[in-house]
Amino acid sequence: MNLTINGEQHEINVQTVKDVVSHFKLKPNLIITEVDGEIVDQEAWNRTALQDGSRIEIVEFIGGG
């Protein structure tokens, strides 16, 4: 599936937002996801199906001091 993730093209074998999070080994409690302009809550990741050409934004929270 061809996806745009944070502005970069990726061709990966995924079906849902949860699959993308797993593929990139992201920490679920430290990110927010958006698909085609809509924020997707973590509870909905497993049932949010992606389409070829979907645009995904992933924002990671990083602590600092």
CB 12 within 8 A of CB 2: no
Query: What's the chain's average pLDDT?
Result: 96
- As a whole number, mean pLDDT of residues 44-54 equals 98
Among left, alpha and beta (phi > 0; psi -120 to 50; other), residue 25 is left
pLDDT at 62: 84
Q: Span 2-60: which CATH code?
A: 3.10.20.30
* Res 60 pLDDT > 80: yes
pLDDT at 65: 66
